[in-house]
Amino acid sequence: MHVPDGFIDAPISAATGVVAAAAVAVSLRGARRELDERTAPLAGLVAAFIFAVQMLNFPVAAGTSGHLLGGALAAILVGPYTGVLCVSVVLLMQGILFADGGLTALGVNITCMAIVTTVVAYAVFRALVKVLPRSRRSITAATFVAALLSVPAAALAFTLLYAVGGTTDISIGKVATAMVGVHILIGIGEATITALTVGAVVAVRPDLVYGARDLRRRLQLRVNGALVDAPAPEPARTAPVAARTSRRALWLTGLATSLVLAGFVSFYASSNPDGLEKVAADQGIDEKAEEHAAADSPLADYGVKDITDARLSGGLAGVIGVGVTAVAGTGVFRAVRRRRTTQDVSPTSTSV
């Protein structure tokens, strides 16, 4: 998905460059809160990890394989700010050193792949974790959904940029259908791998997973046969910054999630009807196909496959979107209410 030079026109490239610079500036500040003065080495090593893990090939079927994009993974493992920062640095280095993605398109690349992916993934993840029961399995499930939605969201962001500043007038319906359709397939692969990876880390070192910090239990002492909360010995090294989200933040997260989902689904639905006749478009826009999961469709029988894919993925997007919106919507209310009633009861249903 690395956009080359000349793909998006100059004004939009400049505008996204400003957006990217602002987001990186905000993330630098936020990452200092997430990691304090350990930011440089830790974020650097995590960026190196993202860079390396993008080279890890996951075989799909005979001869084809996909790899991880890593935005959702970074957001959930090390937090949204550090995640944006790490992915941005990876993109910057790929642009300058490996000529992968144009220098003038750096803003577009960072906006789509670092910012949108990470922010959408983390917002969805937070909302789901609030709603689901506090357990390791729900962390994995939330990771799956977050990663699944983050990839088509990035594709959609790219489509919007293309609609405003594309250098070729391909109809936006075509671009959206092909981009989102293909990226939902990619998203399924990404989601599976991300969920498995986060699950593996949670099983071994749950304290390292930023998204699972709510899961940590207070130390309890058995005093005369009764469990008593131990007094906090010292402020924990990774003092939770975003962990105790206020109710207002919770509301905002839920609202943002449902807005993103609603916009995403409705946009997709409106562009779906003419997806059938635009087989060529599907074939044309899936630049990612070469290096990703969609590589299993040979050119010869693209037609049939892509029509079914478009339908299937359209339906899938609808179901997932509506379902998650509904769940998130009702869940926010329930979580708020539950929080109000069970303010002081110490959680006991964790399995870590």
Partner 1 sequence: MGAGHAHKLYRHGHSPVHGLPPHTKLAAVFAFVVVVVSTPREAMWAFGLYAVLLTLVAYVARVPAGFLLKRLLIEVPFVAFAVLMPFVAEGERVEVLGMSLSVSGLWGAWNVLAKGTLGVAASVLLASTTELRELLLGLQRLKLPPLLVQIASFMIRYGDVITDEMRRMRIARESRGFEARGVRHWGVLAKSAGALFIRSYERGERVHLAMISRGYTGSMPVIDEVTASRAQWSYAFALPFAALVVCLLGWTL
The rounded distance, in Å, linking the Cα atoms of 27 and 86 is 10
Q: Which is nearer to partner 1, 106 or 328 (CB)?
A: 106
Q: Which residues pair with 64 in a beta bridge?
A: 61
Rule CB under 8 A: say whether 227 interacts with partner 1: no
CB of 225 to partner 1, least distance (A): 37
**Interacting stretch for partner 1, rule CB under 8 A, among 48-56, 253-261, 322-330, 339-347?**
48-56
Q: How far is the CB of 294 from partner 1 (least distance, A)?
A: 12
Q: Where on the phi/psi map is residue 298: left (φ > 0), alpha (ψ -120 to 50), or beta? A: beta
Distance of CA 265 to the CA centre of its chain: 17
- Please report whether residue 49 would count as binding partner 1 according to CB under 8 A: yes
With CB under 8 A as the contact rule, which of the stretches 91-99, 141-149, 320-328, 330-338 interacts with partner 1?
Answer: 91-99
Closest CA to 68 of 256, 316, 285, 293: 293
Binding segment (CB under 8 A) for partner 1, from list 82-90, 222-230, 254-262, 310-318: 82-90
The span of 55-63, 126-134, 306-314, 315-323 binding partner 1 (CB under 8 A) equals: 55-63
Stretch that binds partner 1, among 92-100, 118-126, 156-164, 333-341 (CB under 8 A): 92-100
* Closer residue to partner 1 (CB): 30 or 314: 30
CB of 180 to partner 1, least distance (A): 16
104: contact with partner 1 by CB under 8 A: yes
Nearest 10 degrees: Cα torsion 38, 119, 59, 57: -30
Residue number with CB closer to partner 1 (25 or 221): 25
In whole angstroms, give the CA distance from residue 39 to residue 203. 25
> Using CB under 8 A, which of 18, 22, 41, 304 touches partner 1?
41
Q: Which residues within the stretch 257-316 sit at the binding site for partner 1 (CB under 8 A)?
A: 278, 280-281, 283-285, 287, 290-291
Interface with partner 1: number of residues (CB under 8 A): 77
Site residues for partner 1, window 60-79 (CB under 8 A)? Answer: 60-61, 68, 77-78
| Member of 12, 20, 23, 43 binding partner 1 (CB under 8 A) | 43
Q: Kindly write down the DSSP assignment for every residue of 119-186, as one continuous string.
A: HHHHHHHHHHHHHS-SSHHHHHHHHHHHHHHHHHHHHHHHHHHHHHHBSS---HHHHHHHHHHHHHHH
For residues 233 and 231, what is the distance between their CA atoms, to the nearest angstrom?
A: 6
CB-based contact 89:110 (threshold 8 Å): no
In angstroms, the CA 280 to CA 350 distance is 50
The only residue of 199, 275, 314, 321 in contact with partner 1, by rule CB under 8 A: 199
Residue type, 237: R
Please say whether the beta carbons of 141 and 132 come within 8 A.
yes
**Residue of the chain from 85, 123, 191, 335 that contacts partner 1 (CB under 8 A):** 85
Angle between helices 302-341 and 247-271 (to 10 degrees): 160
The stretch among 34-42, 117-125, 314-322, 330-338 that binds partner 1 (CB under 8 A) is 34-42
Among 170, 295, 307, 352, binds partner 1 (CB under 8 A): 170
CA end-to-end distance (rounded Å), the chain: 37
